[in-house]
Amino acid sequence: MSHHEFKVDNKTGKNKYVGSWSENTSMAVNLPFTVESLKSVLQNGANPDQSKYTHQDIAHWCDRFFMAMFEIDTDNAMDIATGVGTDVDTQWDMYLANTYSLEQLKQLDFSQESMPIEWFNDWLKELESA
C-alpha cells in the first residue's frame, strides 16, 4: 500500500508534504524479477483490456523489481530494465498526484486508474534498446 502526503508552499516552486492518501491493496504480480518479466508486465500495461493486471498492480511490481535490483551488480540490460522499473513506479505516483485533488485521491479506487498506453509502449521500446 502506498501512502503519500503533500502540502503546497506559498513560495514559488516549493511544495511540502501535508494531507495524505493511501492506495487500496493491489493484486501481487507473482513473477520473478527478470527483464523478461518486466517486458511481460509492460505488455499487459500496453493492453489493459486483455490484461490480468491493473496499472496499479504493474506499478507496484515495478517498485518491488527496482528495490530487489537496487544494490545488485547487474549487466547493462538489467540496468536499463531497473531504470524502466523505477520510472514506471514514479510515473504512477506522479500521474495520480497531477491528475486528482487530494480529496479525490482519498476516495479513489486505484485499481480502476490507467496511465496513458503510450507510456507503456515507450518503456517497451526502451527495453528493446538494452
Of 4-18, 49-63, 88-102, least confident by mean pLDDT is 4-18
Nearest to 33, CA basis, from 78, 71, 73, 1: 78
Separation in Å, CA 69 to CA 11, 38, 75, 76, 110? 37, 12, 11, 12, 26
pTM, entire model: 0.81
Q: Which residue has the higher pLDDT, 66 or 26?
A: 66
pLDDT at residue 73 in the model = 72
pLDDT band at 1 (very low <50, low <70, confident <90, very high): very low
Of 19-28, 61-70, 96-105, 106-115, least confident by mean pLDDT is 19-28
Nearest to 66, CA basis, from 44, 81, 45: 81
pLDDT at residue 8 in the model = 52
**Arithmetic mean of pLDDT over the chain:** 86
Spatial distance between the Cα atoms of 100 and 85, rounded to a whole number of angstroms: 23
